[in-house]
């Protein structure tokens, strides 16, 4: 499918798929959305020495970059293992045109940005000390057969339900749920009532939070202790 680069309202770029009329990020600001949904309402709410993150899907790699950027602000005495699923990897010229490294003050982000795309698929590799990435090229529905450590944080970042409605229905959420650790957190830009109900049916504690620019609300959900599931 043909993709083109678009600039969003905060100046950061995204990819747009003409045939689906769908962007990889919010046109109100790709960077702001990633930081709000996945860092402020995700990573920053998880307090563990070793955090296993599962992302659906890798896309442009922007969520990996904002996560590393946040990790670099800490005293780095914890470890992050980041597992990212993607069926349709983007190409080198798209990576270059997105120019995400220029969004961050941290100078190392240029080299880090190159490394996250260059690193071999299907292998857990060190991006910087304490931050490991495994990109897995697969369909989201292959999740069931993947061997992953118990996941502490899920970045649920599929295309919208308008274009991929099945990715917002119970079977995929159930697969993700079974990969999650007790007390793990799932965060998504979606605020759909049907998604909220599915997460509640799975026994999760769901919270509505203010959304990123251009969106009133978003959802986060905690996996509870076994005896109250
Ligand atoms: C909203 S974009 C993800 C944006 C990404 N997190 C980022 O930081 O750029 C959704 C991604 O899901 C991928 N995708 C769509 N259907 C998929 C499927 N069935 N299995 C795996 N990946 C899929 C798309 O190729 C796209 O990269």
The residue count for the chain:
229
Alpha-carbon gap, residue 113 to 128, rounded angstroms: 11
pLDDT bucket at 227, cuts 50 / 70 / 90:
low
Q: Which protein residue has the closest C-alpha to ligand 1 atom 25?
A: 88
User: In this predicted model, what pLDDT tens digit does every residue of 25-54 receive, in sequence order?
Assistant: 999 999 999 999 999 999 999 999 999 999
Looking from the CA of residue 34, the nearest atom of ligand 1 is: 8
Residues forming beta bridges with residue 82, ordered by sequence position? 53, 133
Alpha-carbon gap, residue 116 to 96, rounded angstroms: 13
Question: Among 156, 197, 194, 196, which residue's Cα sits nearest to residue 175?
Answer: 156
- Ligand 1 pocket mutation, candidates 5, 25, 86, criterion most atoms within 8 A of CB: 86
Answer whether residue 217 shows pLDDT above 90.
yes
User: Distance of CA 79 to CAs 130, 152, 154, 177, 208, Å?
Assistant: 5, 12, 16, 22, 28
Q: For residue 180, what pLDDT is reported? A: 98
Q: Is the Cβ atom of 42 under 6 angstroms away from ligand 1? A: no
Alpha-carbon gap, residue 162 to 116, rounded angstroms: 30
> What residues does each domain of the chain span?
29-228
CATH superfamily of the domain spanning 29-228: Vaccinia Virus protein VP39 (3.40.50.150)
CA of 163 from ligand 1 middle (Å) equals: 12
CA of 207 from ligand 1 middle (Å) equals: 24
Answer whether residue 229 shows pLDDT above 70.
no
* Tokens standing for residue 156: 């649920």
Counting residues of the chain whose pLDDT is more than 90, the rounded percentage is 93
**More confidently predicted of 94 and 77:** 94
Q: Is the Cβ atom of 187 under 6 angstroms away from ligand 1? A: no
CA of 77 from ligand 1 middle (Å) equals: 31
Q: For residue 19, what pLDDT is reported? A: 94
- What contacts 122, CB < 8 A, 6 or more positions away? 134, 135, 136, 137
């Amino acid at each position: 499918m043909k993709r083109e680069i678009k600039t969003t309202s905060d100046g950061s770029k995204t990819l747009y798929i003409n045939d689906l009329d769908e962007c990889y990020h919010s046109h109100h600001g790709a960077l702001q959305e990633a930081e709000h949904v996945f860092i402020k309402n995700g990573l920053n709410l998880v307090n563990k020495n070793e955090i296993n993150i599962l992302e659906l899907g890798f896309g442009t790699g922007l969520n990996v970059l904002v996560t590393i950027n946040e990790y670099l602000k800490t005293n780095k005495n914890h470890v992050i293992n980041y597992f990212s699923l993607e069926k349709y990897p983007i190409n080198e010229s798209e990576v270059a045109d997105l120019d995400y490294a220029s969004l961050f003050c941290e100078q190392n982000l240029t080299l880090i940005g190159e490394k996250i795309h260059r690193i071999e698929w299907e292998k857990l590799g060190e991006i910087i000390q304490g931050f490991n990435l495994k990109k897995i090229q697969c369909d989201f529905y292959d999740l069931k057969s993947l061997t992953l450590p118990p996941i502490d944080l899920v970045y649920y970042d599929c295309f919208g339900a308008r274009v991929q409605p099945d990715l917002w229905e119970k079977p995929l959420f159930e697969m993700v749920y079974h990969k999650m650790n007790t007390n793990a957190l799932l965060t998504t830009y979606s605020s759909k009532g049907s998604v909220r109900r599915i997460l509640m049916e799975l026994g999760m504690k769901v919270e509505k939070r203010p959304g990123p620019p251009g969106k009133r609300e978003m959802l986060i959900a905690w996996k509870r202790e076994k005896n109250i599931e």
